[in-house]
Structure 1
């Protein structure tokens, strides 16, 4: 009889386990949240349009050839003319303003000239400085701007 009681007890336990399993709520399927979307990349900033006119070379000398080219000179005589030669390049024809300034070693402006040009392709503009008197001996700085923007490095010359 003991065997019967154990069998009944095991059977009852088995039936209870099955009943509990049957009453158990069905698990809701786990809904995964949508993958985090990366923000759309910011639109690329447009490349700035190239300047219609750019200066490619600035040369300071005292004589100009027929093609307006100037051989670079660093030492001038007191009676020499000073020529600032600016080579420009334009992707499309455009108006431009070239400004050349001579500054004496004490900071005094010895000369300043502005020239309006119509730049087309590659071209050269020469700005001449002359002095009815002799140039004062000393060092001078030559600064050039194109449409108000500095062109290259300040160049230094000397008058003896």
Structure 2
């Protein structure tokens, strides 16, 4: 036996009443002071059950590059050696769909000290390249560095290492 909700039963009764009223024979009334019947209040039909949303493909990082200049398409020619006054560009390519997904890039110096860290929201519906630029007005200390990318706080892609001489 299938159970129906009260609102479905009320709606069915209301529709049946309206249908019967529409089929009823019109009667002549001799009384000119008779009030017209009050309109029947219609309740809106129940909304359709929500359709399950298909989960968006999670965003993933397919490539990370570290370089000095970016092309018009945001691609960065990888560089392994930088001078202290160079601008460091960390470029990462994402695949998938993202709506305000938090991404982060962190530069770590050889002793584990954070040399730079930036984050931003990512909105994309497909493959996209994002560049994050780091500058040091005092010059980058000589040594080895590591560039890491995170998506929603989780490590993503393959970290890249480079050196400043």
TM-score with structure 1 setting the length: 0.65
* Structure-1 separation of matches of 2:80 and 2:150: 20
| Residues 124 and 112 (structure 1), Cα distance of their counterparts in 2 relative to 1, 3 Å cut | same
Paired residue total:
111
1:156 matched to 2:149: no
* Structure-1 separation of matches of 2:98 and 2:114: 32
1:123 matched to 2:110: no
Structure 1: 5+ residue stretches without partners: 1-48
Which residue of 112, 128, 135 maps to 1:107?
A: 112
Shift in Å at residue 115 of structure 1? Answer: 1.3
1:147 — aligned with what?
A: 152
SS in structure 2 opposite 1:121? coil
Once the two structures are overlaid, the 10-residue window that deviates more, 50-59 or 131-140, is 50-59
Structure 2: 5+ residue stretches without partners: 1-54
2:72 — aligned with what?
A: 66
1:57 — aligned with what?
A: 63
* Structure-1 separation of matches of 2:112 and 2:125: 35
* Structure-2 separation of matches of 1:104 and 1:51: 34
* Structure-2 separation of matches of 1:114 and 1:154: 16
Shift in Å at residue 120 of structure 1? Answer: 1.8
* Structure-2 separation of matches of 1:53 and 1:119: 9
* Structure-2 separation of matches of 1:150 and 1:50: 20
Which residue of 97, 100, 106 maps to 1:95?
A: 100
* Structure-2 separation of matches of 1:61 and 1:125: 13
* Structure-2 separation of matches of 1:87 and 1:99: 13
Shift in Å at residue 153 of structure 1? Answer: 2.6
* Structure-1 separation of matches of 2:56 and 2:98: 13
Structure 1 residue ranges (4+ consecutive) displaced by more than 4 angstroms after TM superposition: none
* Structure-2 separation of matches of 1:78 and 1:85: 19
| Residues 121 and 51 (structure 1), Cα distance of their counterparts in 2 relative to 1, 3 Å cut | closer
* Structure-1 separation of matches of 2:126 and 2:111: 38
Kindly name which structure, 1 or 2, has the bigger radius of gyration based on alpha carbons: 1
Does the 8 Å contact 1:53/1:94 carry over to 2?
A: no
